[in-house]
Amino acid sequence: MGEGAEERRAVEALKISLAIYSQTEWLNSPKLTVVDLREKVVLVQFWTYTCINWLRTLSYVCAWAKRYKDQGLVVIGVHTPEFAFEKDADNVHVLTVSR
């Protein structure tokens, strides 16, 4: 490893940790930190609940999460609303509870 590579990795890990931890609200999980995710395989899925492409992948990602959880897979879904009604937290809560 080159000189400074370890420091650069630490800075990048800190940036990721801050980005993940700074989310306004976490659903279905306590807030996760880089320490929580260390030595895990992390799949980050950006979604909005009216996106047909996301809906088509949902069953697969849920199955992977269940199947590979014990092997270290962590799935983090990041809700990225496009329309005003998708920004309503109550709508997101209803959907995530029903899944």
Average of per-residue pLDDT across 22-51:
84
More confident residue, 38 or 16: 38
* Domains of the chain in sequence order: 5-98 (3.40.30.10)
Tens of pLDDT along 70-83?
Answer: 999 999 888 888 88
75 with 43: CB under 8 angstroms? yes
Q: What is the CA radius of gyration of the chain?
A: 16
Q: What is the pTM of this model?
A: 0.71
pLDDT of 41:
94
Tens of pLDDT along 56-68?
Answer: 999 999 999 999 9
Average of per-residue pLDDT across 34-55:
89
* Residue 20 in tokens: 């993940």
